[in-house]
Amino acid sequence: MKIVKFILSFIFALMFIHAGMNKFFHYSPMPKMSDEQIKIFAAFGEIGWLLPLVGIVEIIGGVLFIFQKTKALGAIILLPVMVGIVIHNIYRDPTQMGIITAVVMFLINIWAIIDDREKYKALIS
């Protein structure tokens, strides 16, 4: 079971590191977007600091998520980003594959938080 946890954590982390690096280097092609999505991403472009901030959070959270000692911190850092991804995929990009991928990644993040719940007790006590 320990190896399955590590593999899931590693793949989850790599996906976020990839997404964060892509926000800076634009090496992955963008999928075809609807007119509404084009407007949304144009608005993100107008707010010049938003996408770099999300990219930095994704990279830092992904790197922290790889290592068992810092996975709990990485999971909490990535949670708001993951919520935004799920909401975007449900309301703005309702393709079946996008929703399934977002929900599976969200569940991996929640699983990591639940798995490391002992580490959070000091924060809420």
Burial of 19 (0-12, 13-18, 19+ CB in 10 A): middle
Nearest to 85 by CA among 117, 43, 46, 54: 54
How far is the C-alpha of 39 from the C-alpha of 77, rounded, in Å? 27
Tens digit of pLDDT for each residue in 39-79? 888 888 899 898 999 999 999 999 999 999 999 999 999 99
Q: What is the pLDDT of residue 21?
A: 97
Map residue 70 onto helix, strand or coil: coil
Q: What is the pLDDT of residue 37?
A: 80
The pLDDT of 9-38, averaged and rounded, is 90
Asked if the model's pLDDT at residue 98 lies above 80, the reply is: yes
Which pTM value belongs to this model?
0.89
How far is the C-alpha of 72 from the C-alpha of 74, rounded, in Å? 5
Q: How far is CA 42 from CA 38, 50, 53, in A?
A: 6, 12, 16
Mean pLDDT of the chain: 91
